[in-house]
Amino acid sequence: MSDKVTSNEQFANPELAAVRIDEDSEDLSRSEVLLKGALAAGAVYGTLAVGPFVRKALAMTGGSDVDILNFALTLEYLEAKFYEEAKTRAKASGELKSLVNLLASDEKQHVEALTATIKDLGGTPVKAPGVDFGDAFSSADAFTTLAITFEDTGVSAYNGAAPMIKSKEVLAAAGGIVQVEARHAAAIRLQNKEEPAPEAFDPPLDEKQVLKAVEPFLA
């Protein structure tokens, strides 16, 4: 069991710099867990309260709420079509198959709800995009890998766009959707034997970054 002295000039709490935590111990006390978390988060936040990724989110310029919802709708269409196709084409069985059915149903409901809300706001919903998922259905592994990309990207897209939403009600609704996307992400990751929550903070992505991630699949 080794003691580690961890130091970081940029710690938000300089007094943490000299903290020794027995990294190998399984028996960290509550205080030690808190300190360890502080060290980890301190590496992200440095001396600033607002992490670099939060500042990035604020640098994004948003359009109207309808624009934002239409952006979300495109992503939801992509996911809905992906899972709908997966029902017949992905080589999924057992738990994964059940999950695919749930995902397909949820994303379809998201599409319907976003479409209705955009109309209610007096906007015109975007049309369903053409899609091409390549060889994503060649194996269960290929499928889950792409599903993880879509869900993780979806979470970050919502997290990136939400601070720009003007209506509190639209924001609350978007929040209800993003949480479900995060749940989806965790579930698929578990199916692929990956960590459900790899990071303590889900970063926001701007529209350009999101489109870069999903563009290959828009026909």
Residues 21-50 that bind other proteins (CB under 8 A): 26-30, 32-38, 40-42, 44-45, 48-50
Tokens matching residue 151 = 């869900």
Region 149-188 residues binding other proteins, contact defined as CB under 8 A? 155, 158-159, 162-164, 167-173, 175-187
Q: How far is CA 10 from the centre of its chain?
A: 28
Give yes or no for residue 81 binding other proteins (CB under 8 A): no
Question: Is residue 82 at the binding interface for other proteins, with CB under 8 A as the rule?
Answer: no
- Residue 211 CB, shortest distance to other proteins, in Å, is 20
In angstroms, the CA 191 to CA 143 distance is 11
Distance CA 153, CA 49 (A): 25
Residue 215 engages other proteins in binding (rule: CB under 8 A):
no
58 near other proteins, judged by CB under 8 A:
yes
CA-to-CA distance for 130 and 126, rounded, in angstroms? 12
CB 104 within 8 A of CB 84: yes
Q: Does residue 190 belong to the site contacting other proteins (CB under 8 A)?
A: yes
For strand 20-22 and strand 3-5, is the pairing parallel, antiparallel, or unpaired? antiparallel
97 touching other proteins, by CB under 8 A: no
- By CB under 8 A, what part of segment 102-121 binds other proteins? 102, 105-106, 109-110, 112-113, 115-117, 120
Residue listed under structure tokens 């959707």: 177
